[in-house]
Amino acid sequence: LTYWWCLQHGESDNNVLGKIGGDANLSPRGVQYAVSLARHMNAQQIPDLRVWTSQLRRTKQTAQDICATKEHFDALNELDAGVCEGLTYEEMADQFPQEFAWRDQDKLRYRYPWGESYLDIMGRLEPVFLELEHMENVLVVSHQAVLRCVLGYFLGKKPEELPYINVPLHTIIKLTTEGYSCRLEFIKLPV
Ligand code: F6P
């Protein structure tokens, strides 16, 4: 029986504004979550805890007060939305209606101009999956689209389902693996 955890960064200023992508700071609520997350994790005194974050501010800030060895990886960065970075979904629909429609038709394969698709993320996550398969006591702090891919992979979901997996905010997801089966536990923290 082995287990590890993953979670989304706390609410960011761009989450509040409904903007896609970017490298925003945590919102005041996101900062509160980071504090309660650190309190929760530090109280467990997990031996040799390691924290992996993306290279973006919001995941680093989320993990900031957790006592652990931290490493930051490009592979854990959020889906690169290319020309749509910094837009709201309404602005995207307005400025790039054809792109918006294509994404709606095939969210798994749709690649933003100068950006990425969910399938592209699956590709860059491959080395991360291989590591996680034989790791313990790792806490992965990443982003919505990336975590959908991580959960989909470990739960054996069909690729088409990946872009729609629910990854709740302000919730720690504990993954316990036994042989080939994987069980999830959701720990919602007060913010
Ligand atoms: O809106 C937050 C966010 O993490 C964006 O940065 C990212 O493009 C998006 O979620 C991914 O979700 P979806 O694939 O549903 O647009």
pLDDT for position 157: 97
Residues in the chain with pLDDT values less than 50? none
In the chain, what percentage of residues exceed pLDDT 90?
93
Phi, psi of 110 (to 5 degrees): -60, 125
Report pLDDT digits (tens) over 4-52: 999 999 999 999 999 999 999 999 999 999 999 999 999 999 999 999 9
With a 6 Å cutoff on the Cβ, whether 145 touches ligand 1 is yes
With a 6 Å cutoff on the Cβ, whether 79 touches ligand 1 is yes
ipTM > 0.85 (yes/no): yes
**Ligand 1 atom having least distance to the Cα of 118:** 14
Can you tell me the distance from the alpha carbon of 182 to that of 186, in angstroms, rounded to the nearest whole number? 13
Select from 26, 78, 102, 162 the residue to mutate for testing ligand 1; criterion: most ligand atoms less than 8 Å from CB: 78
